[in-house]
Amino acid sequence: MAYIITAVGAGGKTTYLKKRALEYLRQGKRCALTTTTHIWPVESGPDCFGILEESGKLRAPDAQSFAEICEKYEIVLVEGDGSHCMPVKIPSEREPVIPDGTDEIAVLMGAHAIGRRIDVVCQRYEGSGEEKVTAELLEEIARQRYILPLQKRYPKAHIFYELSQMPPSDERIVGVLMASGFGRRYGGNKLLAPFHGRPLYLHVLDHMVQALGKENVIVVTQYEEIRDTAGRLGIESVWNDQAIEGISASIRLGTQKALSLGADAAVFFAGDMPYLPSEEIRLYAKQFLASAKPYGCMEFGKEHICTNPGAFRLDCGAKKLLQLTGDRGAMRIMKQEPWNIYYYQIAPEWARDIDVNPLPAERNQTSSHRTDPGL
């Protein structure tokens, strides 16, 4: 019978299992990967088993199929918990789902959650506060919610906790501010409309500069005032004479400029999201590069709603971005490969955009949630 290793928790289970699989494969061992929940098929490495669903994911094989896998392979690696790509998780009473006979249970939590709000990064968080995640808190969640209950259920298994780390990246990412919109729903040029005493777009631009550095910021615009302001601030700008086409023109122009600057990746910002903090932008860019995924997007809420800014690695995404046309954004590219998206969770209030022209007395507070990413 196979030696069974099950990974539970959050923040890096698939990466952990693939790493373990490669170690066993190098040793010449027959190795398989499967799940008791749902996983995306792996493109290389161990043989991957499950029942293919319409979404493209694999769900758990039935008991007989799992037994046959264990007879055929020396090592069977199992993803026994789902966390919706979140780095921290509190399991429900029915979780995790661990196969009988499991020899090792690895409880993982993501180190990239440290310093962030737990209500944002933890699946099934039960509190209402905004406590910041620490390494000690992650270990306590793992011990209380996973290890102690699992030791009672699986006394013969080796159960341990591991803090999963994202590898650092020295690649360059540039932020592209798409500031060419006509503001039709707003009823005028909302980018230049006053918001808390300044033009709306400047709030986003400031946050981008604080997060990425002005040398890594590009402004794409059809407005002379915005272009001139960027110039005075020492920020690269690209004149958009194709704005009538829609958002794809801004994406193409921004991509071309990012390539000319030698960037490895680009992240595209809407000019009407003033509430997104610079620190969240910085961490998003850092973690997206570390993930090595082709695409990235922010998401918020229990419904995991995707929103701007969208990120793209240029070695594999530039060609697709440069082929975009019309007033549809780049989210259509991501949707073709959902397993290749890095999701970064944010608070719903940070995702608010300014979409309706308020009365003068309301201009400091009117906003909405963007449900169409518009990437």
Mean pLDDT, residues 368-372 taken together: 47
- Structure confidence at residue 329 (pLDDT): 74
Whether residues 214 and 293 share a domain: the answer is: yes
- Structure confidence at residue 183 (pLDDT): 61
- Structure confidence at residue 98 (pLDDT): 96
Q: Does the pLDDT at position 369 exceed 70?
A: no
Residue finishing a domain among 164, 194, 227: 164
**Is 375 a domain residue?**
no
Residue 318 CB: number of other CB atoms within 10 A? 19
From CA 9, how far away is CA 206, in angstroms rounded?
Answer: 37
Residue finishing a domain among 116, 134, 164: 164
Q: How confident is the model at residue 184 (pLDDT cuts 50, 70, 90)?
A: low
- Structure confidence at residue 61 (pLDDT): 95
Q: Does the pLDDT at position 286 exceed 90?
A: yes
Top-confidence residue, 272 or 358: 272
Whether residues 183 and 155 share a domain: the answer is: no
Q: Which of 68-72, 106-110, 225-229, 299-303 has the lowest mean pLDDT?
A: 299-303
Whether residues 217 and 245 share a domain: the answer is: yes
- Structure confidence at residue 373 (pLDDT): 45
Looking up residue 146, the CATH number of its domain turns out to be 3.40.50
**Is 284 a domain residue?**
yes
Mean pLDDT, residues 345-362 taken together: 72
- Structure confidence at residue 371 (pLDDT): 44
Whether residues 115 and 225 share a domain: the answer is: no
- Structure confidence at residue 55 (pLDDT): 86
- Structure confidence at residue 309 (pLDDT): 95
Whether residues 193 and 80 share a domain: the answer is: no
Expressed as residue numbers, the domain containing 64 is 3-164
Q: Does the pLDDT at position 361 exceed 60?
A: no
**Is 138 a domain residue?**
yes
Q: Does the pLDDT at position 327 exceed 90?
A: no
Whether residues 253 and 358 share a domain: the answer is: yes
Q: Does the pLDDT at position 6 exceed 90?
A: yes
Using one digit for the tens of pLDDT, what is the confidence trace for 212-255? Answer: 999 999 999 999 999 999 999 999 999 999 989 889 999 999 99
Mean pLDDT, residues 85-101 taken together: 94
- Structure confidence at residue 372 (pLDDT): 44
Q: Does the pLDDT at position 363 exceed 60?
A: no
Q: Does the pLDDT at position 191 exceed 70?
A: yes
Map the chain to HEC letters.
CCEEEEEEECCCHHHHHHHHHHHHHHCCCCEEEEECCEECCCCCCCEECCEECCCCCEECCCHHHHHHHHHHCCEEEEECCCCCCCCEECCCCCCCCCCCCCCEEEEEEEHHHCCCEHHHHEECCCCCCCCECCHHHHHHHHHHHHHHHHHHHCCCCEEEEEEECCCCCCCCEEEEEEECCCCCCCCCCHHHCEECCEEHHHHHHHHHHHHHCHHHEEEEECCHHHHHHHHHCCCEEEECCCHHHCHHHHHHHHHHHHHHCCCCEEEEEECCCCCCCHHHHHHHHHHHHHHCCCEEEEEECCCCEEEEEEEEEHHHHHHHHHCCCCCCCCHHHHHCCHHHEEEEEECHHHHEECCCCCCHHHCCCCCEECCCCCC
Q: Does the pLDDT at position 2 exceed 90?
A: yes
Q: Tell me how many domains the chain contains.
A: 2
Whether residues 152 and 287 share a domain: the answer is: no
pTM, rounded to two decimals: 0.90
Residue finishing a domain among 130, 164, 198: 164
Mean pLDDT, residues 259-280 taken together: 96
Looking up residue 181, the CATH number of its domain turns out to be 3.90.550.10
Residue 47 CB: number of other CB atoms within 10 A? 15
- In sequence order, the 6+-apart residues with CB closer than 8 A to the CB of 150 are 8, 96, 98, 105, 107, 157, 159
Q: Give me the percent of the chain exceeding a pLDDT of 90.
A: 78
Average pLDDT, whole number, for the chain?
Answer: 91
Whether residues 178 and 96 share a domain: the answer is: no
Q: Locate 245 and state its tokens.
A: 């086409």
Mean pLDDT, residues 115-131 taken together: 89
**Is 374 a domain residue?**
no
Whether residues 84 and 18 share a domain: the answer is: yes
Whether residues 152 and 271 share a domain: the answer is: no
From CA 193, how far away is CA 114, in angstroms rounded?
Answer: 37
**Is 111 a domain residue?**
yes
- Structure confidence at residue 359 (pLDDT): 39
Whether residues 201 and 303 share a domain: the answer is: yes
Q: Does the pLDDT at position 298 exceed 70?
A: yes
Q: Match 């919109």 to its residue by tokens.
A: 181
